[in-house]
Amino acid sequence: MKRLRVLAIPVAAALVLGAILLLATGTDPLAAYGAIVSGAFGPDGIGDTLAYAVPVAGMALALAIPLRAGMVNLGGEGQLVLGAISALAVGLYVPGPGPVKVVLALLAGVLAGAAYAALAAVCENRFGVPLLVSTLLLSYPAMSLAGYLVRFPLKDAGSSLPQSPQLPEGTRLPELGGVTTGIFLVLAVIAVYAVIDARTPAGFETKVTGWAPRFAVYAGIDRPKLTVRLLAASGGTAGLVGAIAVLGFPYRFIDGALITPQYTWIGLLAALLAGASPLGTLLAAVFFAALTSGGFAMERATQVPRELTAVLQAVLIIFLAATSGVFRRKARRA
């Protein structure tokens, strides 16, 4: 109940601001909003929403894991892309039967993302570069590397675009009604995260670190080790999302295709908003995914650019951050 009340003002504010923008472009706000809702959840749109929710929820989860301990991983994009390109390389070049290759490709994605994120943790532990910065700085070279690979060694010879060839027929994740079966992998990882978070000593230590870092160290929690583990889990999840992305439609790596839709940043916001709680992060991510797919439907129905929903989303979060600050301050005073 209280959560709902917290949501009311930001939602209203975002809707009003959106309405103003819509009126400025000469569009009926009600029609546009209707198109968003039916586009997101209607029979035609729900598939799009789910398809978009897979990478967003996956990245949200990836970034939620360290966030639970108060650590911000800003390098999700690099880990995502590295996971994708590693999975693709395995899928293209490792011999063997299709299903085995799919599993190996997924594993390669997880390992690549995990190792790369752990490297950022080592930068903090050994060289004193704050995690926020080390993750961010490492992200760019990873994206450059992937961009290089799909332009030269892994390039699709038959195309002028910076993209890889398609994975062969057998080396793909099947689709169910337009949604990759990778969705089950993402759901499984969320379930595992939820159980670890709520019921295990490791999850408890992560939360204690998030509540009060110095208390955690005093109580005997090894922060450097925890940082490496959380970042590896985070990067591994991001890498898995990347692997799922290339193993699903269009079954290839296209330079920028995982960056331009802002999966990582939207995922980070979902995790930040939900305080990295497993269920909350999932709900927030699905909500943002619905907004985005609704935005495409709105553009088709009303000619209003779909970026409007990105604006709505950001405005919503800004108001939510501001009003939750007010609530926090009241709680502190009491």
Partner 1 sequence: MIDASLFSSALTALTPILFAALAGALCRRAGVFNISLEGSLLVGCFGAVAGSWYTGSAWIGVVVAVIAATAYSLILAIGSITFDGDPIVLGVASNLLAVGLTSFLIRTVFGTEGSFSDPALRGLGQFGPLPGQSLLVYLSWLAVPALAVLLYRHPWGLRLRGVGERPEAASSLGVNVTKYRYGVILAGGALCGLGGAQLALGSVTLFAENLTAGRGWIAVVAVMLGRAHPLGVLLAALLFGLAEAFGFRLQGIGLPQQATDAAPYVVTLVALFLSNVKRKKGQPA
Partner 2 sequence: MTPPNPEAVSLRGIVKRFPGVLANDQVDLDVGAGEIHALMGENGAGKSTLMSVLYGLHRPDEGTISLHGEEVSFGSPAQAIDAGVGMVQQGFALFGELTVTENVVFGSEPTRRGLLDRKAATARVTELIERHELRLRPGDRVRDLPVGLRQRVEILKLLYREADVLILDEPTAVLTPPETDRLFGVLRTLAAEGRTILLVSHKLQEVLAVSDHVTVLRDGRVSARGRTADQTAAGLAAAMTGREVDLDRVHPAGTPGDAVLEARSLTVPGPEGKPLLGNVSLTVRAGEIVGVAGVAGNGQGELSGALSGLLKTDGEVVLKGQSLAGLSVRARRDAGLAHVPEDRAEVGSAPVASLRENLAVGFHRRKPLVRKGFLRRKAIDDHASAIIDAYDVRASGPAAAMGTLSGGNQQKAIFGRELTHDAPFLLVEQPTRGVDVGAIENIHARLVAHRDAGHAVLLISAELSEILALSDRVLVLFEGRIVAEFTKAEADQHNVGLAMAGGAG
3-state secondary structure of 258: coil
Q: Which is nearer to partner 1, 174 or 275 (CB)?
A: 275
Beta bridge partners of 163: 254
Site for partner 1 in 277-316 (CB under 8 A): 304-305, 307-311, 313-315
140 binds partner 1 (CB under 8 A): yes
The set of residues, in sequence order, having a beta carbon less than 8 Å from that of 276 and lying 6+ positions away, is: 64, 65, 67, 68, 210
- Of 99, 130, 170, 174, the one binding partner 1 by CB under 8 A: 130
173 with 244: CB under 8 angstroms?
Answer: yes
- Of 9, 46, 72, 194, the one binding partner 1 by CB under 8 A: 72
Phi, psi (degrees; rounded to nearest 5) at 71: -105, 130
Residues 104-123: x where in contact with partner 1 by CB under 8 A, - otherwise, as a string: -------------------x
Report the partner that residue 222 touches, choosing among partner 1, partner 2, none (CB closer than 5 to 8 A by kind).
partner 2
220 binds partner 2 (CB under 8 A): yes
Using CB under 8 A as the binding criterion, the count of chain residues that bind partner 1 stands at 50
Q: Where are the beta strands (DSSP E) in the chain?
A: 175-176, 179-180
3-state secondary structure of 262: coil
The set of residues, in sequence order, having a beta carbon less than 8 Å from that of 320 and lying 6+ positions away, is: 6, 7, 10, 273
Phi, psi (degrees; rounded to nearest 5) at 180: -65, 145
Tell me which residues touch partner 2 (CB under 8 A): 199-201, 204-205, 207-208, 211-212, 214-215, 217-222, 334
Tell me which residues touch partner 1 (CB under 8 A): 21, 24-25, 72, 74, 123, 127-130, 133-134, 136-138, 140-141, 144-145, 147-148, 151-152, 262, 265-266, 268-269, 272-273, 304-305, 307-311, 313-315, 317-318, 321-326, 328-329
